[in-house]
Amino acid sequence: MTHILAIDQGTTSTRAILFAPDFTNVASAQQEFAQHFPQSGWVEHDPSDLWTTTAATCRAAIEKAGGRAEDIAAIGITNQRETTVVWDRTTGKPIHNAIVWQDRRTSSVCRALKKEGFEDIVTEKTGLLLDPYFSATKLAWILDAVDGARDRARKGELAFGTVDCWLVWKLTGGKVHATDATNAARTMLYDIRKGRWSRTICDRLDIPMEMLPEVRDCADDFGTTRPDLFGRPIPILGIAGDQQAATVGQACFKPGMMKSTYGTGCFALLNTGSEPVTSKNRLLTTIAYQLDGKPTYALEGSIFIAGAVVQWLRDGLKIIREAAETQPMAEASDPGQGVVLVPAFTGLGAPYWNAECRGAVFGLTRNSGPEDFARAALESVGFQTRDLLDAMKADWSGASDTALRVDGGMAASDWAMQFLADIIDAPVERPKVLETTAMGAAWLAGYKAGIFPDMEAFAAGWSAERRFDPAMDETARDRKYDAWKRAVRATIAYAD
């Protein structure tokens, strides 16, 4: 038993990857699933889709590798964070669709709570801002919307969990109701300093604590899978939210190290060590990972739309057929056009945190065309990343201009990564293995199982496939970033 099965349950698809002891990808499988948009700003998943695609991709990966579950020592899970599931403990059936992290339906609730001064309490305890992005107000909304749900929760009949917790419940046949510290830290219900659920916040939102899961380390015992799923029980030994798993996979174990993941959204994490750093620039204080009961903290900047802006070019504007087309289009665009795209389709994340903003385009002329939209879309991700890094440097003296480690689908674009290095004026390093999120989950499980190396040895094995050094002159950089900031201010003014 030398292999690790990593489950990477994302916002639009589920993947399963089987890793060998040398971290090579032995076999993998991936399935997309439906997105549901009941109203403007609302995003939901059918929890059964999250589960069935998980089970199917795990079986497919095992079959591709020769069908020997006996070779698998453990399972590691990484997942889309904040997405909220509530289910019946007896039947295992969800009482409502999962409310996705992108969902903004509780914006008005968050505004009301801010007016009464509750955000200071939330930030002090959880390190987060009071925003519909997080799980807490989504959970309260479900308890309000479903008849009798809150009373049933008080009686212990209902369970709440983020996606990792839901998958653990399903994998173990309902025997384990647990999450890890990184996912708990994203619910807006967890006191990251005391390491426990906050009764103060639960009481204010009228969330019965009986429905909350047990919180464990990232490398811990989360039970074993049902024997009928894969042919034999397999231990679940590692869990981390997707961005924290990527931080682990990028070996950002020392304070000052930073990674940025470009998936549906973009998420930058800066390791700040054993002490939480309180942001003065509306970044989030969160848990990067927790091992042996000791949390390591991070500053995080969250961008809601990164890779999703390329999906919009494909599915909304229909000017591309696949994401890879954006690079040659950006190269062919007219740099003199100066088109700026603010992709605030579901609001603006850090450091602005404006849930009311919507997307906007500036600088259009009669000569603007698809190539200019492609360029503006890729540039928007670089601009938003610089917003985050500037805020991090202002918050913590330990942040420096050391290389930014990148991963995720958009990191494969040489053009986008070169622009990123140019606009942040710092080197960008792309690892040899882009599947860093799944690798992080695999390392946690393999480390707990005793078959993967310790943290120091794992970090020593990290290597870059390519390094992008900044090449843009300071005048051009300042001019482009100033145009971006003016576009953001105008977008916010329009929303207001």
Across the chain, which has 496 residues, the per-10-residue mean pLDDT values are 91 92 89 92 94 96 84 94 96 96 91 94 94 94 96 96 98 97 97 96 96 97 95 95 94 92 88 91 93 95 87 90 89 88 89 88 93 94 93 82 85 93 94 88 95 90 92 94 96 91
Distances (CA, A) of 323 to 9, 110, 376, 410, 448: 21, 35, 14, 9, 37
CA angle 264, 267, 273 (to 5 degrees): 155
pLDDT at position 355, please?
79
Close Cβ partners of 142 (under 8 Å, ≥ 6 residues apart): 84, 86, 95, 96, 99, 149
Domains located in the chain, CATH noted: 3-242 (3.30.420.40), 250-431+463-496 (3.30.420.40)
pLDDT at position 170, please?
97
Burial 8-46 (b: 16+ CB within 10 A, else e): bbbbeebbbbbbeeebebbbbbeeebeeeeeeebebbbe
pTM to 2 decimals? Answer: 0.87
Cα gap 340→306, rounded to integer Å: 15
Quickly tell me which residue has 């929303």 as its tokens.
Answer: 495
pLDDT at position 265, please?
83
pLDDT at position 241, please?
96
Which of 148, 36, 149 is closest to 97 using CA atoms?
36
Show the tokens assigned to 298: 């991070």
pLDDT at position 401, please?
64
